[in-house]
Amino acid sequence: MKKFPFLHLSLFIATSISTLAAGASWAGIDLLKEPQRIFEGFPFAGTLMIILLVHELSHYIASNRHGTKATLPYFIPAPVGFGTLGAFIKMKSPIITRKALIDIGASGPISGFVVSVIACAAGLYLSKVIPITGAESMLTLGDSILFKLLSGIIIGITPDNADILLHPIAFAGWIGLFITSLNLIPVGQLDGGHIAYAFLGDRHKKLSIFLIVTLGVMAIFFWPGWAIWAGLMLILGIKHPPVLYWEEPLDGRRRITGIISLVIFFITFVPAPFNVTF
């Protein structure tokens, strides 16, 4: 008899509450004065939680389909920022083949990507273009190739003295695309690392080292947060564990899936994701 997933459910509820609070705070609500208005953060929180849930459950389903034991998702609440540090599942048995590695690694990012694109499109339709006065401090989000394209199609060209005030759903969709790009960096045991290892084998370690150094350089010229992300990947490890049956070749569908994942990485990656102006 399976145990009731109390920890997983508790973390999911805690993260739902923390993202609700974050969504309300981003909407300008002071929850210390008006705690009853926390549910106004639902458009942001609901969208972001759905993206994370779809991403992790896709990994979970793909793992089970290939006979790899995996836990249910662990959601990570956060008291500041977006209200969460994401979610993850833990593999409890080896991944058997390179085909399984591609399916498990790519399933989460691709599924999360699709939901994030839908959220961005719907949220951009509800967003507003506002003038920039220069009198207030503001958080500016960097544009990926895809988000810039969607903005141009749905909103049009934004004047130099104006910017887009993102609807909470679009904001959550932007975060979903950002999370997708982070996971698809082909380093270590990230989702992108799984995919890269399925193609490159032991050569993947050299790629991981190169990319971590690259992120360190980008931390100097684009966004300091890349140094933290590079350090975290070093802590988690850049060496990928081997699959049990490496000799089984990748078929055409898995190779196409790997290429699609690479394209998604390039069109969602943002060199300078955050910029605060005063």
pLDDT tens-digit map of 204-230? 999 999 999 999 999 999 999 999 999
> In the predicted model, what is the mean pLDDT of the chain?
92
* Residue 15 placed within a domain: yes
* Residue 234 placed within a domain: no
* Residue 263 placed within a domain: yes
How much is the average pLDDT of 60-80? 94
The pTM assigned to this predicted structure is 0.94
* Residue 88 placed within a domain: yes
Least trusted range by pLDDT, from 37-46, 105-114, 134-143, 154-163? 134-143
> pLDDT value at position 137?
61
> pLDDT value at position 50?
98
How much is the average pLDDT of 184-201? 94
SS3 192: helix
Domain that holds residue 164: 6-187+251-277
Least trusted range by pLDDT, from 37-46, 188-197, 235-244? 235-244
The count of other CB atoms within 10 Å of the CB of residue 34 is 11
Residue 97 DSSP label:
B
Number of domains comprising the chain = 1
Roughly what angle, to the nearest 10 degrees, separates helices 168-183 and 6-26? 130
> pLDDT value at position 134?
61
Q: How far apart are CA 56 and CA 70, in angstroms?
A: 11
At residue 237 the predicted structure's pLDDT band, cuts being 50, 70 and 90, is: confident
